[in-house]
Amino acid sequence: MRLYLKITHYLPYFCPMETQRQKKIGALIQQDLADILQRAATEGTPGTLISVSKVAVTVDLSIAKVYVSIFPTANAAKILEEIKAGTPGIRHELAQRTKHQLRRTPELLFFLDDSLDYIENIDKSLKEGENPIEKPDLLPKRKKS
């Protein structure tokens, strides 16, 4: 019974069907965060490219899941931890940029987007003659976030 209540408690927040308002706010946040993070990357670690690939906003607009792609991928985990540590400052700068569009700035949750690496592994295995569809053990399982 407790498990059922716990699962249904989170279901209304991240719905698979986004409303138009969620999409617009997600696009606005994505554009501003990309600029904020890229400026911080050029100042802190030159030669690093940070892009925001997707922003998913909850129904009540209180939480935003931000998926970030970092190149080169060698330092991606370290840079993601730095971004997570600097979340209050990033949120404040985002609030300053969106103060005329949003009443409240959503809480930001950052995740590493590994979709490009996963696609690259599929392409590499196909070029080597291996078929990942016939042998699913060739590719590692993707992490759910």
8 Å CB contact between 71 and 48: yes
Q: Which candidate, 128, 117, 29, places its Cα nearest to that of 73? A: 117
The count of C-alpha atoms lying within 13 angstroms of the C-alpha of 92, restricted to the half-sphere facing its C-beta, is 4
pLDDT, one tens digit per residue, over 59-75 is 998 999 999 998 888 88
Topology of the domain covering 2-113 = GMP Synthetase; Chain A, domain 3 (3.30.300)
What is the pTM (predicted TM-score) of this model?
0.74
pLDDT, one tens digit per residue, over 22-78 is 999 999 999 999 999 999 888 877 888 889 999 999 999 899 999 999 888 888 889
Tell me the H-state helices in the chain. 2-10, 20-44, 76-85, 87-97, 115-127
Domain boundaries, the chain: 2-113
